[in-house]
Structure 1
Amino acid sequence: MVARGLLTRTELRSKAWRQLFRDVYADSHLAMSHRTRCRAAARLLLPDGAAVAGRSAAALFGARGVDTDEPVDVLVPTGQRFGPVSGLVVHTANLGSDEIMLHDNVPVTNPQRTCWDLAQWCPIEEAVATVDQLAARGVVLLDEVAAFARRRVGLRGWRRLLRVVELADAGAESIPESRLRVRIMLAGLPRPVTQFVVTRRGRFVARVDLAWPELRVAVEYDGLWHDDPEQFHRDRRRLNRILGEDWIVLHVTAKRMRDDFDGFLAELRHALAHRAH
């Protein structure tokens, strides 16, 4: 637009415009999201054969947890030169044409390839939490992702993707819950059931985030309920009901996960061992 004389560079630096990438601007009144930035990058920056990938691809498929201003992950086929570009994280790897699809008119790695890249590029907790979301939304089937990994036996990273699939669970309902479950399993404890429904004589009593039903032990992640300040109190009343059913319910907060997760694990191990005996 500057070259065509429609705007000056001074005007672009005004509050009327927001810079997305170098030489890429948007109207400052446009509702911005990471998906919007992915679409802009794909339309105006990516070379032929490249695709939005990784966490950015997952965001286009509907996964949460990627902030608006985080760099956009893109994948460029080996041998093709591109970048660096401020605001993009450019990855280079072998990329089959069958591993790219159009989603909302954006070239994006297909769901299986997206899971592969998540497993390679992200810490395992983050990779599993994102794959959980894709599986919960029906974007991928975990069996298909495992098959994708097995077709790549011998390639660096196939075992890591299988491990992500083993830890993933389509029943997870939040990112913190996913991370909590993964940490518990990586610590060597038995796999919990997600979103377990406690019943009494066939009637609903409560639903818990993670449970070992045969031992009647449950774990609840206590989040911050910004949209509903009464939710915390409703949850506490709900959990009080299942205490009458002889359940042990342990609570963990973001602070506890950050500062004292070993202490929480010790409590959980004790509860599971106590009930096992």
Structure 2
Amino acid sequence: MILTLAFLSALLPALAFAQVDEALKAQLAVQQEAAAIQRQIDALDEESRKLLEEYRAQAAALDELTAYADQLDKLVADQAQEIAERERQLAELETLKQHLFPFLLEMLNALEQIVAADTPFLLEERKARLASLREVLSRADVSLAEKYRRLMEAFRIEAQYGHNLETYEGPLPTDGDHRTVRFLRFGRVGLYYLTLDGQEGGVFDPKSRAWHRLEAEDLKPLEQAMRIAAKQAPPDLVILKVPAPEAP
């Protein structure tokens, strides 16, 4: 009995140590497993954070793309509306062209009638302008806008003739005798001529459409008026005979 107790007394410390060792190993294993799990949790948390940041970045990019797409949709809609408006304007323009070209021809015919019935000053220049206009209107390679501009320019020039004073040289067609003389145009009120030697002068009568000779005493004022028109003399009062106006 005593031997048995002594054996048990000797065996108990060894058993207790073994149990403690096993407990420590078990605790260490648990701690290591817990550490591994924590690392996994930390890794998952980092991955979740990165995924969240990526999601937020993708969401922001999606918002920008959505806003850009909305802007493009609006731009496309505006362009479609503008194209429809341009097509409508083109259709109206084609209709306008069909009516405008005959109108331009009518305007040219009216301008030709004005020149034919007007005082015969600068006839060669004015007839050449009308011939050029008629040639331009007949050309298919000239735009309608350019034709209109040229015609309006001709009307503007004709209108200016009524507001200025000029002198020039040219042929005088009288009785088949085309003499070169000096002309004085006083707007559209009076048209005069004076021979180059200053010995003969005349005034055009719109009513009879003929030239009437001036008296000798009228030649000097006419010469003075021509010098003023040519800016060879300062402006001064000059008295010239003018044709009597026609009653309306």
Name the TM-score, length of structure 2 as normaliser.
0.24
Structure with a larger share of its residues in helix: 2
Q: Higher RCO, 1 or 2 (CA under 8 Å, sep at least 6)?
A: 1
Question: In proportion to residue count, which structure has more strand?
Answer: 1
Flag the structure with larger Rg.
2
Give the alignment's TM-score, normalised by structure 1: 0.22
